[in-house]
């Protein structure tokens, strides 16, 4: 892991621990980077439930119950898809907080609805409605992935405050 997410992960872990909550995540373009950041913290097993790396359309459908119609109508990188991803994490885990990420990290990718560097993130908490953000990051593949993880952690912390 190039970026140092330890401080953010520790802060999020402390907030989850205070509530006696667990977190589960679904990642596409970040390919497990968010899970790695969270599990780099000692004691994460008390608040990290599980992570799904759902890179392909089949994985999104099989692991997270994303509808084929959603993928066909809106694409793998869309608000609709990330909403279904976060709902899928929620349904297929024992967590009280769920996070999902999908996007085009590059150097190839993009479509008519989302250009290279576009990332959709979603958060769901037991006590709040789903929150979705669309980000437009710049930089190389690693930079886009790291920026996505930074936003995922930062917004999760903000939701728990």
* Structure confidence by residue, pLDDT tens digits, 25-46: 999 999 999 999 999 999 999 9
Residue 1 lies in a domain: no
Cis peptide before 104 (omega within 30 of 0): no
Q: What range does the domain containing 148 cover? A: 6-160
User: In whole angstroms, what is the distance from residue 136 CA to residue 68 CA?
Assistant: 25
Residue 149 lies in a domain: yes
pLDDT at 129: 92
The total domain count for the chain is 1
Q: What percent of the chain is predicted at pLDDT more than 70? A: 98
Residue 60 lies in a domain: yes
Q: What is the pLDDT of residues 55-110, one digit of tens each?
A: 999 999 999 999 999 999 999 999 999 999 999 999 999 999 999 999 999 888 77
Q: Where are the alpha helices (H) located in the chain, listed in sequence order?
A: 6-19, 33-39, 57-64, 68-74, 79-91, 141-160
pLDDT at 4: 83
**DSSP-derived pairing of the beta strands 48-53 and 128-136:** unpaired
């Amino acid at each position: 892991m190039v970026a140092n997410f330890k401080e953010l992960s520790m802060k999020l872990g402390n907030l989850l621990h205070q509530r006696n909550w667990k977190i589960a995540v679904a990642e596409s373009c970040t390919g497990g980077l968010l899970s790695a950041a969270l599990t780099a913290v000692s004691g994460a097993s008390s608040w990290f439930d599980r992570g799904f790396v759902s890179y392909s359309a089949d994985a999104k459908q099989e692991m997270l119950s994303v509808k084929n119609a959603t993928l066909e109508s809106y694409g793998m990188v869309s608000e609709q898809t990330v909403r279904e991803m976060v709902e899928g994490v929620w349904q297929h885990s024992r967590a009280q907080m769920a996070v999902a990420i999908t996007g085009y990290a590059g150097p190839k990718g993009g479509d008519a609805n989302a250009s290279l560097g576009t990332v959709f993130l979603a958060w769901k908490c037991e006590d709040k409605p789903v929150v979705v953000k669309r980000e437009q990051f710049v930089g190389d593949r690693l930079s886009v992935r790291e920026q996505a993880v930074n936003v995922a952690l930062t917004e999760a912390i903000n939701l728990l405050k």
